[in-house]
Amino acid sequence: MNKGIERILVADDDAVIREGLRRILVAEGYEVEVVSNGRAALERLDEENFKLLITDLKMPGMSGLEVLQAIRVCQPELPVVLITGYAAIDNAVEAMKNGATDYLSKPFGNDEIISKVKHAIESRAVLIDDICLWREMNKNHGFDQLLGDSREMKRLYQRIMQVAPTDSTVMISGESGTGKELVARAIHTHSSRSSQPFVVIDCTALAETLLESELFGHVKGSFTGAIQTKRGLFEVAEGGTLLLDEVGNISLSTQAKLLRVLQERVVTPIGGTTPIKIDIRLVAATNANLREMVTQGTFRDDLFFRLNIIPIELPPLRERKGDLMLLAGQFLKRFAEENGKEIRGFSPDVIEQLENYGFPGNVRELENLIERAVVLSQSDLLQRQDLGLPGDGQRSVAVAGDAVPLDANELKARKQLLREEAVVPLERAFLLSALDRNDWNITRAAQEVGMQRPNFQAMLKKQGISARMRVVE
């Protein structure tokens, strides 16, 4: 194997041990980075790709076991080797039962280190294969519509499998078009309630009075137009899962009633006097920042905490571009079959256009784009003109020219696109200039521009800027 590209992260609060490991592994041809605690290790793993983590079992602040548990959620394919003293071998063995690849018992020799590192890195391929097999086995059980093999999607699959067996309330957040309802369906499908109803209500589609009637039901004659008694969706979803889509659009008065239902687990129809017990799993979804709404007073803080027990945040498509062509290919195959067309794939300029486009409408926009392209295509490969994107690949048909947006979603997409065209390049120039002035020292650059280092680093990550670009740009 080519060890020159194999990066290893070492986490140990003992400087002698971590530096000793670094020297041994560097001599073997590995690229090694060291940190002094568990939190720093998780931050680096979130920022960069590593083939292996070596971590001390006992560290102040965050133990190696806690680091392992966090990694098994966000990066299940990453092998982890634990460092332990003789007295803590039992703990190391227990950690291996929870997903650790191997352990090193102090004191250890060079040969033992090298042997276990080689074995752990080789085991990584097996883990990835296992994940792929797991996905294949479950493609007809809730994940068939959730496409993607990026790190972000693997984290999402893992989180779904963790929370699905429980009855805890889940809050799914993400931009429009990221697939919030698909995630909710996957949670339901993998739960013990899968044989019971999965009910969805779009909180933006109904006026306040109608929304309350839909949620809680009403009795005949309770208001004008109530010509018959109607069961609310809380009752309809009995035993199953209820998804409140775009929950941020619920009025404060309805929020109060919803909170009472969640607290008491009973619902009283409008105009009724007899409470009805309910047994449901509640999932909420939103593309709004509910924390900001709480601060502004437009969303109840007590309801927010009730709904946000298990948060799941969906990444926008622009942050998981590695999944782009996989998704596009799946959509192409589906729409070609539906339209009876034999289309083999994408021309090179189409691929370039797709990869350079920001997709403010996320996966939904990509799906619609491919469907339109397939319908218009007259070739066995999708061509540039089929997409309907201008040559620079920066605008979609929906926001091209001076056309006025037709609805709120199109307006939001257009505003996002304008931001990407104007603000994003400015941010990038700002960051690169600050780094250049400070010899690419992130801490000094952040201090110079008056930013906290974590915020500055988060902006770097969003822009895809890393130290490696210093050589390229």
- Report domain extents, the chain: 3-134, 162-315, 318-399, 418-472
Range among 195-199, 381-385, 392-396 with highest mean pLDDT value: 195-199
Mean pLDDT score of the chain, rounded to an integer? 80
Does 400 have pLDDT greater than 60? no
Inter-CA distances, 448 with 86, 430, 454, 459, Å: 47, 12, 14, 15
For the segment 7-14, the average pLDDT, to the nearest whole number, is 92
User: Which pLDDT value is given to residue 76?
Assistant: 63
Handedness of CA 148, 151, 154, 156 (dihedral sign): negative
Handedness of CA 186, 189, 191, 193 (dihedral sign): positive
For the segment 332-361, the average pLDDT, to the nearest whole number, is 84
Does 127 have pLDDT greater than 70? no
The structure tokens 């740009």 sit at 473
Which of 1.10.8.60, 1.10.620.20, 2.40.50.140, 1.10.150.20 would CATH assign to domain 318-399? 1.10.8.60
Closest Cα partner for 446 from 458, 304, 19, 78? 458
Range among 10-14, 322-326, 391-395 with highest mean pLDDT value: 10-14
> 278-301 in b/e burial notation, b at 16+ Cβ within 10 A?
bebbbbbbbbeebeebbeeeebbe
Does 466 have pLDDT greater than 60? yes
Beta strand 230-231 pairing with 52-56: unpaired
User: Which pLDDT value is given to residue 393?
Assistant: 38
CATH class (in words) of the domain with range 3-134 = alpha beta
User: Which pLDDT value is given to residue 471?
Assistant: 40
pLDDT digits 0-9 by tens, 279-311: 999 999 999 999 999 999 999 999 999 999 999
Does 39 have pLDDT greater than 60? yes
3-134 and 162-315 in the same fold: yes
Does 212 have pLDDT greater than 70? yes
In CATH terms, the superfamily for domain 162-315 is P-loop containing nucleotide triphosphate hydrolases (3.40.50.300)
Tell me the pTM: 0.54
Q: So what's the architecture of 418-472 in CATH?
A: Orthogonal Bundle (1.10)
CB distance 161 to 143 below 8 Å: no
